[in-house]
Structure formats: structure tokens, C-alpha cells
């Protein structure tokens, strides 16, 4: 089946620094990718929809200057957490759906555990 690769799986960074997380669709083209945040023992909260070649669409309450999303190609979307603070520590997961995505499954990356110290 289709594979979405997310990197890194774990990252520890100092407060005030920026962290980039990559999400790649390995064997299909994804015009749309999604970034989620998950708190411990909680559900996935959609942060933004990443659109290839255009600006990302952010969900209400998500700071777009804080969470920069770039979707430069049909197989790569990146999420950059800028000026990270301890409250940004979380599990971030990306997903992608193939073109013609209605009534298709979503493929998820392995997730990135971000710890800001």
C-alpha cells in the first residue's frame, strides 16, 4: 500500500529554536497533505491543510506564523515550528490522500515526538 514517511520521529530542541518536520508520500502524488497535533491520550487535532503550490489552510486557533507549512512538491510537505516553546511539545502527525481523494483512505506518517526544553 501507499506509504507516507515522516521525519524525524523524535526531536528535542531548545526553547526559542525552530524545528522542521518533513512529510513525504513515497509512491503516490499528494496534492493535499494534512498536519495534526496529538496530545497524550487524546485525539488528533487538525492543524492545517497543506496544498501543493499554494498557501496552507489553517484551522481556527492555529497560528500560521508559528507553524509554517510549505508544500513545494507533490510528494513533500514540511511543518516548521518556529521559536518553539515547551507548550509546543507534542506529537505531530502528517497524512496524505491520493488524488481523487473522495472515498479513499488517508495514509499517515509515523509521527514526530517534539520535546522543547
Partner 1 sequence: SQQGEEDPQALSIQEGENATMNCSYKTSINNLQWYRQNSGRGLVHLILIRSNEREKHSGRLRVTLDTSKKSSSLLITASRAADTASYFCATDRGSNYKLTFGKGTLLTVNP
CB 22 within 8 A of CB 4: no
Shortest approach of partner 1 to residue 26 CB, angstroms?
Answer: 13
Shortest approach of partner 1 to residue 72 CB, angstroms?
Answer: 19
C-alpha–C-alpha distance, residues 14 and 95, integer Å: 27
Residues at the interface with partner 1 (CB under 8 A):
4, 6, 32, 34, 36, 41-46, 49, 91, 93, 95, 97, 101-111, 113
Shortest approach of partner 1 to residue 8 CB, angstroms?
Answer: 13
Amino acid at each position: 500500500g501507499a506509504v507516507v514517511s515522516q521525519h524525524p520521529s523524535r526531536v528535542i530542541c531548545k526553547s526559542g529554536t525552530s524545528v522542521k518536520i518533513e512529510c513525504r508520500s513515497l509512491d503516490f502524488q499528494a496534492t493535499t497533505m494534512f498536519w495534526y497535533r496529538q496530545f497524550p491520550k487524546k485525539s488528533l487535532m487538525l492543524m492545517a491543510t497543506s496544498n501543493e503550490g499554494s498557501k496552507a489552510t489553517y484551522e481556527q486557533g492555529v497560528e500560521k506564523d508559528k507553524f509554517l507549512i510549505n508544500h513545494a512538491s507533490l510528494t513533500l510537505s514540511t511543518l516548521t515550528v518556529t521559536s518553539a516553546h515547551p507548550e509546543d511539545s507534542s506529537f505531530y502527525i502528517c497524512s496524505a490522500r491520493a488524488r481523487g481523494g473522495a472515498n479513499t483512505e488517508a495514509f499517515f506518517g509515523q509521527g514526530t515526538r517534539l520535546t522543547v526544553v
